[in-house]
């Protein structure tokens, strides 16, 4: 069948070339009929035919920039590790030297027919917050047969080697099919006490236990059996491909299976694409091109990897039964203790049903409860688990937050995770030498923030001092009669401090306020000290008070005319006023009552 597919593609190559030439002819500005409805219909038919019969090549990620902390920075994807069947791509961001270390993510892309570029949206959503790496699997028909085989055990070995290359405190993400080998790799590393075991493991829409809510894909595997797949979907690579005679599961068969699950949707999409072209709706037509350029680009899988995955994961259910092995040794997931686990599922996933990925939470029973999280995203299918607007808004922030919480080497890991005052590392809080920035605004940002914070704290301290003085001075002003005290004694106590004593302290208080204001370079704040108050008006400092209520004690006016600088002069006032009148303990105003102290976090 693979040979027939290649021959068919070669046979219609002249027709594809003719259709492409026709489209270019009727779109040419030199053609007087270009732009007419008839010309648009002809070009639309030609493009639909050419795209439907094209063999799509490997797409590019095309992620050239991202935004980090409001700054647009360039991005370059570079291969940093390579073996015959895969390479590791690093999305290198050109960050400022002052940028702190971000968490490091290893995204294990599916090896299920599509290229790693299917996760372009996943990478794009994480780039502003993380240092991202991704597995870029090679098309099996491009690998010569002399290189050797590649099965599920080799897949696990590749993941382990990549984690060793990246080092400790890496956060691994398995999207869809890789959830199984990623979980196996972490189990193998944990059993050996490997220091490079990842800090967190995020499994998204993966077939961990396909016995739970089986989908059409799961039922097909159970109904057909491994013999049917071996006889019908595995075939040799045709000439002249580099992997000639290698046994593979062809990508075009995988694509046919995917499209047959929602055939009516794909037919409707192409019909609408034709209509958009005729109506000259360029935006809608371009969205169709972008999606199908990615969706139609497929790769071959080695036969041994495909058959072993189908048999162990979908037919025998070896992983949830605890029977799966790696190089002949059983993988014990109970040894996973130091890797935090996040599982993500989509409500409408028609490939990995609800509960299949969550099963990993039960298998990794030794992980502490505070290191495990499960999240189900409403109103998304399989693709929406790792791409789209809901992924960007709901899922990606949870992945980043999970990594920040359980990571140990990124910049935010130095901050305490419990509520309390943040304490920066000594090396960051007191740098040995200040760095000189080429950006003057950036250079002033740190000192200005410290000045503003210090000024705010000083202002709050002054306000607290004023409040404390007001409460203490208000206590002797009025006392309600209580049991065991006669009315005459209560009236004497209610009169409190003589107004004459306060009047004597008035010049000293004004002078103290003016001195404080002058010391900080400000003009003296206007007060009520110079105003003449009606005889008998109770005063505290410079502000008149409301009439005292005998039943509830004194009520202080909320708009006290004291400024923050008056706190420095309270000592002078207290010294001249003298000892306050006696106050009954039962009637002393409580700070926890009508006049609570201000609470704040500095």
Helix or strand or coil: residue 511?
A: helix
DSSP annotation of 435 reads: P
Of 206, 208, 131, 121, nearest in space to 170 by CA: 131
pTM for this entry: 0.67
Residues 6+ apart with CB under 8 A from 559: none
Residue 192 in tokens: 């050996």
Provide the pLDDT confidence category of residue 449 given band limits of 50, 70 and 90: low
Provide the pLDDT confidence category of residue 529 given band limits of 50, 70 and 90: very low
Residues 6+ apart with CB under 8 A from 527: 510, 513, 542, 561, 562, 563, 566
Report d(CA 43, CA 285) in Å as an integer: 13
Residue 192 predicted with pLDDT over 90: yes
Tens digits of per-residue pLDDT, 503-521? Answer: 555 566 666 666 655 665 5
Report d(CA 391, CA 401) in Å as an integer: 14
**CATH class of domain segment(s) 65-240+303-413:** alpha beta
Please, which residues bridge with residue 301 across strands?
249
Tens digits of per-residue pLDDT, 420-437? Answer: 333 333 333 334 334 434
pLDDT reported for residue 493? 44
Is there a contact between 262 and 85 (Cβ–Cβ < 8 Å)? no
pLDDT reported for residue 472? 54
Task: Kindly state the percentage of the chain with pLDDT values over 70.
Answer: 68
Tens digits of per-residue pLDDT, 535-587? Answer: 444 444 444 444 444 444 444 443 343 444 444 444 444 444 444 444 444 44
Radius of gyration (C-alpha) of the chain in whole angstroms = 37
Report d(CA 327, CA 314) in Å as an integer: 20
Mean pLDDT of 170-174: 97
Is there a contact between 489 and 483 (Cβ–Cβ < 8 Å)? no
Of 4, 254, 61, nearest in space to 140 by CA: 254
Helix or strand or coil: residue 533?
A: coil
pLDDT reported for residue 154? 96
Tens digits of per-residue pLDDT, 3-38? Answer: 888 888 888 889 989 999 999 998 898 888 888 889
Omega before residue 240 within 30° of 0, cis: yes
pLDDT reported for residue 339? 96
Residue 54 predicted with pLDDT over 70: yes
Mean pLDDT of 124-142: 95
Q: How many residues does the chain have?
A: 602
* Residue bearing tokens 């029977």: 323
pLDDT reported for residue 456? 57
Is there a contact between 538 and 545 (Cβ–Cβ < 8 Å)? yes
Report the Cα–Cα distance between both ends of the chain, in Å, rounded: 72
Q: What is the 3-state secondary structure (H, E, C) of 86-150?
A: EEEEEEEECCCCCCCCCCEEEEECCCCCECHHHHHHHHHHHCCCCEEEEEEECCHHHCCHHHCCC
Mean pLDDT of 374-390: 93
| Residue with more model confidence, 418 or 455 | 455
Task: Kindly state the percentage of the chain with pLDDT values over 90.
Answer: 52
Domain boundaries of the chain, sorted by first residue: 1-55+251-299, 65-240+303-413, 449-587
Give the DSSP per-residue string, 195-221. TT--SEEEEES--S-TTSS--HHHHHH
Of 548, 442, 486, nearest in space to 99 by CA: 442
pLDDT reported for residue 56? 87
16-25, 64-73, 177-186, 533-542: range with lowest mean pLDDT:
533-542
Instruction: Give the torsion through C-alpha atoms of 411, 416, 422, 425, to 10 deg.
Output: -50
């Amino acid at each position: 069948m693979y040979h027939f597919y290649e021959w068919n593609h070669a046979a219609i190559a002249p027709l594809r070339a003719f259709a492409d030439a026709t489209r270019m002819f009727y779109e040419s500005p030199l053609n007087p009929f270009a732009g007419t409805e008839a010309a648009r219909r002809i070009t639309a038919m030609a493009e639909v035919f050419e795209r439907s019969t094209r063999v799509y090549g490997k797409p590019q990620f095309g992620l050239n920039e991202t935004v980090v902390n409001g700054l647009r920075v360039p991005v370059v994807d570079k291969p940093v590790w390579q073996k015959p069947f895969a390479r590791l791509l690093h999305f290198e961001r050109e960050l400022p030297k002052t940028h702190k270390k971000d968490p490091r993510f290893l995204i294990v892309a599916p090896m299920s027919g599509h290229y790693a570029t299917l996760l372009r949206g996943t990478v794009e959503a994480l780039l502003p917050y993380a240092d991202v790496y991704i597995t870029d699997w090679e098309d099996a028909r491009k690998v010569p047969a002399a290189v050797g085989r590649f099965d599920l055990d080799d897949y696990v070995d590749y993941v382990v080697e990549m984690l060793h290359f990246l080092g400790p405190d890496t956060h691994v993400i398995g999207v869809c099919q890789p959830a199984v080998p990623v979980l196996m790799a972490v189990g193998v590393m944990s059993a050996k006490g490997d220091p490079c075991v990842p800090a967190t493991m995020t499994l998204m829409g993966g077939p961990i236990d396909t016995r739970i809510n089986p989908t059409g894909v799961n039922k097909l595997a159970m109904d057909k059996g491994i013999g049917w797949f071996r006889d019908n979907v595995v075939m040799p690579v045709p000439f002249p491909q580099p992997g000639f005679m290698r046994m593979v599961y062809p990508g075009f068969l995988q694509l046919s299976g995917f499209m047959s699950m929602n055939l009516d949707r794909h037919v409707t999409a192409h019909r609408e694409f034709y209509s958009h072209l005729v109506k000259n709706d360029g935006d809608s037509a371009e969205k169709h091109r972008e999606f199908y350029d990615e969706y139609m680009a497929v790769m071959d899988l080695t036969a041994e990897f495909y058959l072993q995955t189908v048999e162990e994961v979908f037919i025998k259910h070896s992983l949830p039964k605890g029977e799966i092995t790696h190089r002949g040794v059983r993988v014990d997931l109970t040894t996973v203790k130091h890797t935090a686990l996040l599982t993500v599922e989509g409500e409408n996933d028609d490939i990995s049903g609800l509960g299949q990925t969550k099963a990993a939470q039960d298998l990794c029973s030794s992980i502490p409860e505070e290191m495990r999280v499960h999240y189900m995203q409403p109103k998304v299918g399989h693709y929406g688990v790792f791409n789209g607007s809901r992924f960007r808004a709901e899922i990606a922030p949870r992945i980043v937050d999970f990594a920040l919480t359980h990571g140990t080497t990124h910049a935010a890991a130095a901050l305490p995770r419990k509520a309390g005052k943040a304490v920066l590392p000594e090396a960051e809080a007191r740098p040995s030498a200040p760095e000189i920035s080429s950006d003057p605004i950036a250079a002033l940002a740190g000192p200005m923030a410290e000045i503003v914070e210090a000024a705010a704290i000083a202002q709050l301290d002054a306000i607290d001092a004023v409040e404390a003085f007001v409460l203490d001075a208000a206590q002797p002003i009025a006392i309600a009669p209580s049991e065991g005290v006669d009315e005459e004694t209560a009236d004497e106590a209610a009169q409190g401090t003589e107004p004459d004593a306060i009047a004597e302290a008035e010049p000293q208080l004004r002078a103290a306020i003016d001195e404080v204001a002058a010391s900080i370079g400000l003009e003296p704040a206007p007060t009520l000290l110079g105003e003449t108050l009606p005889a008998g008006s109770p005063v505290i400092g410079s502000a008149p008070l409301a009439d005292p209520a005998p039943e509830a004690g004194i009520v202080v006016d909320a708009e006290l005319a004291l400024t923050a600088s008056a706190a420095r002069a309270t000592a002078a006032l207290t010294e001249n006023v003298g000892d306050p009148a006696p106050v009954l303990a039962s009637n002393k105003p409580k700070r926890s009552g009508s006049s609570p102290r201000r609470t704040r976090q500095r």
